[in-house]
């Protein structure tokens, strides 16, 4: 897969950049709080957000607890435009899918950076339960036709909403939040993080890796095509944090 190949090349290049800093050392930190945004191959422009709290175990080794909330999109989503209403909608979509991932993991320092500059490389692994939230996808549908008829905002139903031409657009995601259904699963992830900044103060960094997620039932987003209970993705986290 092209995206996996690009990830491997990115990691290899980053390792070549940071190898000269491998022999340098610094004191280990006691605690770190970081947070940021997630981009992944199953999401859109912005996949989600996360927060993580890490603490010292022994030299080079840290443990952390964290929480990720990301949106997962169906690979066959087709975004259409209605010229009459000037709005967009996803053809045949019945549910938004959000994954809430509490996780516990470990972080091992592969290459340290200098005290005031450089790049530090860490190996990261984590696992935990997954809570899959299916939020009904609401559309504005014209039952009368001609954009002058009986327009209603309803959860998409393939048995009722037969014409894409009569679909004027989608409603806000919060419209269906009270009808959310929950499904359980689990996930695991592994990756590399590249940290910049002053070691004992604020840090910024990137984390790239791979996520596997399994649910106990299919997560139905588009009912008229194949849906899945297993999801894999390549991800990129961009984060900021402070240490003490």
pLDDT digits (tens, 9 = 90+) for 168-223: 999 998 999 999 999 999 999 999 999 986 656 788 999 999 999 999 999 999 99
119: CB partners within 8 A, 6+ apart: 14, 17, 18, 21, 111, 113, 194, 195, 196
Strand stretches in the chain, DSSP E = 31-40, 48-58, 61-72, 79-82, 87-90, 95-111, 120-136, 138-142, 151-155, 167-170, 181-196, 202-219, 228-243
Residue 128, domain CATH: 2.40.160.20
Give the span between the Cα atoms of 20 and 10, in whole angstroms: 17
The Cα 60–Cα 18 span in angstroms is: 16
Query: How many domains, the chain?
Result: 1
Specify the DSSP class assigned to residue 149. S
Question: Over pLDDT 90: what percentage of the chain?
Answer: 66
Domain range spanning residue 85?
2-243
- Average pLDDT value for residue range 19-32: 54
pLDDT score for 150:
86
As a whole number of angstroms, the distance between CA 49 and CA 71 comes to 10
- On the question of pLDDT at 28 being above 80, the answer is no
Contact by Cβ (8 Å): 185, 128: no
Please give the DSSP secondary-structure letter assigned to residue 9: H
**What is the structure's pLDDT at 200?**
64
């Amino acid at each position: 897969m092209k995206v996996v190949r690009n990830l491997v090349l990115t990691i290899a290049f980053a390792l070549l950049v940071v190898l000269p800093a491998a022999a340098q050392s610094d004191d280990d930190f006691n605690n770190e709080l970081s947070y940021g945004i997630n981009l992944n191959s199953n999401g859109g422009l912005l996949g989600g957000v996360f927060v993580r709290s890490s603490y010292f175990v022994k030299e080079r080794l840290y443990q952390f607890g964290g929480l990720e909330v990301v949106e997962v999109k169906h690979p066959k989503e087709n975004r259409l435009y209605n010229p009459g209403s000037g709005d967009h909608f996803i053809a045949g979509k019945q549910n938004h899918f959000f994954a809430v991932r509490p996780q516990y993991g470990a972080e091992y320092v592969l290459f340290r950076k200098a005290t005031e500059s450089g790049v530090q490389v860490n190996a990261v692994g984590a696992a935990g339960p997954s809570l899959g939230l299916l939020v009904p996808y609401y559309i504005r549908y014209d039952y009368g036709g001609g954009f002058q008829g009986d327009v209603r905002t309803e959860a998409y139903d393939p048995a009722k909403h037969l014409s894409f031409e009569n679909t004027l657009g989608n409603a806000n995601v919060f419209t269906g939040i009270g009808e959310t259904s929950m499904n359980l699963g689990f996930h695991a992830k592994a990756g590399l993080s590249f940290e910049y900044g002053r070691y004992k103060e604020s840090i910024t960094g990137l984390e790239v890796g791979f996520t596997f997620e399994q649910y106990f039932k299919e997560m139905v987003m588009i009912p008229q095509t194949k849906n899945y209970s297993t999801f894999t993705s390549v991800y990129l986290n961009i984060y900021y944090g402070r240490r003490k």
